[in-house]
Amino acid sequence: MTGEHGAELARAESRDVEHVGPILDGELIDDTLPQPRARKVRRRFVRWWLHSPRVPLWLKSKPQSIQACKDAIACVVKAPWRYVGAVVRGLVVGARWWRNWVKVRDYRTAAEESEKLADKFTEIRELTQFRWKVTGAVLAVSALAVAVTDLVYGPDPLWIAGAVLSVALAILGRRKDGSPGRKPALAGPRTLTWTMDPQILVDAFRDAKLIGKDESLRLVERATRVGDGWAITVDLPATRNAADVVKNRDALASALAVDEVQLIAERVRGNGGHAGRVSMWVADEDPYASPPLRTPLLGVTKWDAWRPVPFGRDARDRRIDLPLVWTSLLVGAIPRQGKTFAARLAASGLILDAWVRLYVADFKAGKDWDAAGHVAYRFMSGDESEHVLTLVDWLVELVGEVQGRYRRMRDLDDLTCPESKVTPEMSRDSALNMPITAVFIDEVQVPLEDRTPVAVQGRKLTAGEYIGELLTWLAKKGPAAGIVLVLATQRPDSKTIPSGLRAVLGSRFALRVMDWRDSNIVLGEQMNTRGYDSSRLLPSHKGVGILRPDGDTAAGADLLAMTVRTYYMPNEDWQAICQQGRALREAAGTLAGHATGQDTVPNLDHSAVARAIGASDSLGGDTTQPAELPEPLASVVCYLGEDVDSRTFVPTAELVEALEVEPTAFGRQMGEHGCSPTRERVPGADGEVRRVRGYLVADVRAAVERALTAAESRDERDIYDS
């Protein structure tokens, strides 16, 4: 029985197992590869060549080589004119020298300084007459020599002598700062002259007070053409910081005689940079004067949401792409500056991905976003209280969706979900149901300021406060689960956008605003002190703003912010992109929700959401959004930032200069809030201790606490009265 069973197993294995022959194990060897020692020598030589200071820069870089060839060609073309100019300057220098010599200028000057000119007058006159005679004799002998040479040897020796004389005059007349006759009394235009004479660039840094009078710059990369401008990289003196150059870009632009929009100054980061290395680019003309370019997304049939979206171009005409997945975006501007256009540019790349789910809420109540209703999973347009409450339901649904995604990700293996983040493969797997979900809210100040009372967990609060809590939670935990928030507002002030929400929005884009405080609210605290202030943008530059991206861009991953001009996308282009997005979703079978005419009711669990965001604790008043501070306390706290807990005293002059306020009015307003000025001893920049007038930070903190307590009491009364 055992033998028969073994034979049957053998026959079954013979049916199920396919014999493929012997299995060979070996190592692939490519004889064409160089030997290890040769490769090591070659790598060592390449490393030495690229890092050796003895090898000129134009032999290391192809762009530098091309620029060097261009400079050489230009030098050859201009050489004859430069040579003639040098000869003429040599004649002028020689004539001036002869005039001083024949008039015995040195002897006369010495006699005048010693007050013995009357005693030496006769000797000076005799010496002058003697030198005139010598001059005449030399001219006569020279003329005779020329005539004899021409009669005996012909004109060839004269031509040779003339050539030698011209070379001598050219050497004598070469440009040299400080030499008589070779430095103009009035300097010409400064614009871009530093590309020919680096000393002008050094003088500009000195005029802007970025380096001292006795300090200079070290050239890292000479001036080269990059796009429609000149680029140069320099090292500051050891005691100077590149951040000061970026901060005082306006002063440097004035010293270079260009508009500040034409100058880009950046600190060089990474392995090739340090705190004192500055990269500058100066445009030939206003880079934003030309008409804007249309979005390149018009030429594509589809887009991958995981790729950064084409957003605009910087002053150097580099394409700037904006990453959206795993981050969020805040767009702020005053009306009619291109805020909606910027938000729609961010949306266009996501619309052209058939696997992206869109939530669009237009509280402008216009038709700017109507085309998005053909592709959106949820869409509404209006500014009434009912629309605000609808947004509350959407956000509650999204909070529950994020919680469900995290629970489902815990059950996935490490190959499918290596981290607690949505991957491109997961977002396109219909079985997992975790698509990238983008939430666009235009005029977000409308729902955030809504005072409609809502009840959550038996507590009452306004709809605006609840929306602020929900958006803050989604901005914190949503990106890893595939939720993208894009908020746009025309009222970027501290009373509209809660500080807790602003702090967790990764990317910022600020078009022109009214003052530096609004710019800081969009871009981040103290960004104006780092040289980024969108209130200084020109009104004529529509669509131009300061972008603070959360991710890598064409300008570099280490760049804090940049000025960008967004692409132009009129309504017909926007409608074409939305139609293409609908066609892609119909082909992929992902069109759903509002786009199909089926506005399903959100699946809501307010109690679970309240527990998730901590609303049950915050409704008691402990962690509610803090009441906003009155001015100028809000500006003082914004300026001090994290230093409010480390500093004990702040001078009045420092606050007046930083906040750009009138001193008398500022002191009166601070006194109304209970902050009285005092005098303290503080060390100055030179190390000397002086008594200056200012405010104790403890008094400022006490005034802030009083203002917050009073504001919270008023808010609670308003809520319960409503």
DSSP 294: B
* 116-140 per-position pLDDT tens digit: 666 677 777 888 888 888 888 888 9
Global pTM reads 0.62
Average pLDDT, the chain: 80
* 499-512 per-position pLDDT tens digit: 778 888 889 999 98
Which overall architecture, per CATH, does domain 193-283 show? 2-Layer Sandwich (3.30)
Q: What is the predicted pLDDT for the residue at 335? A: 83
Encode 100-109: b = buried (16+ Cβ within 10 Å), e = exposed: eebebeeebe
* 137-156 per-position pLDDT tens digit: 888 998 888 888 888 888 88
- Using pLDDT thresholds of 50, 70 and 90, give the confidence band for residue 36: low
Q: What is the predicted pLDDT for the residue at 591? A: 92
Highest mean pLDDT among 65-74, 181-190, 644-653: 65-74
* 543-556 per-position pLDDT tens digit: 899 998 886 665 55
Q: What is the predicted pLDDT for the residue at 614? A: 60
With H, G, I as helix, E, B as strand and everything else as coil, classify residue 25: coil
Amino acid at 179: S
Contact 279, 231 (CB under 8 A): yes
Highest mean pLDDT among 109-123, 336-350, 615-629: 336-350
* 54-64 per-position pLDDT tens digit: 777 777 777 77
615/325 Cα distance (integer angstroms): 27
Q: What is the predicted pLDDT for the residue at 18? A: 47
Q: Any idea which fold 633-721 has?
A: Arc Repressor Mutant, subunit A (1.10.10)
Q: What is the predicted pLDDT for the residue at 686? A: 59
Q: Which of 573, 583, 504, 549 is nearest to 347 (CA)?
A: 573
- For the four alpha carbons of 684, 688, 694 and 700, in that order, the dihedral sign comes to positive
With H, G, I as helix, E, B as strand and everything else as coil, classify residue 277: strand
In this structure, what token pair is assigned to residue 14? 């013979």
534/540 Cα distance (integer angstroms): 13
As a whole number of Å, the end-to-end CA separation of the chain is: 91
85/678 Cα distance (integer angstroms): 66
Rounded to 5°, angle at Cα 673 from 667 and 676: 50
720/170 Cα distance (integer angstroms): 91
Return the CATH number of 312-618, one of 3.40.980.10, 3.40.50.300, 3.40.50.620, 2.60.120.510: 3.40.50.300
Instruction: Name the CA radius of gyration of the chain, rounded.
Output: 37
Respond yes or no on whether the N-terminal peptide bond of residue 663 is cis (omega within 30° of 0).
no
Q: Which of 673, 311, 712, 337 is nearest to 492 (CA)?
A: 337
Q: What is the predicted pLDDT for the residue at 540? A: 82
Residue appearing with tokens 């910081």: 241
Q: What percent of the residues of the chain are helix, what percent strand, and what percent coil, each to the nearest 5?
A: 50, 15, 35
531/264 Cα distance (integer angstroms): 11
In this structure, what token pair is assigned to residue 67? 């620029």
Q: Which of 87, 97, 267 is nearest to 162 (CA)?
A: 87
| Domain range annotation of the chain | 62-172, 193-283, 312-618, 633-721
Q: Which of 208, 514, 69 is nearest to 332 (CA)?
A: 514
Q: What is the predicted pLDDT for the residue at 19? A: 46
* 395-430 per-position pLDDT tens digit: 999 998 998 899 899 888 888 888 888 999 999 998
* 349-382 per-position pLDDT tens digit: 999 999 999 999 999 888 889 999 999 999 999 8
With H, G, I as helix, E, B as strand and everything else as coil, classify residue 62: helix
Phi, psi for 173 (deg, rounded to 5):
-95, 10
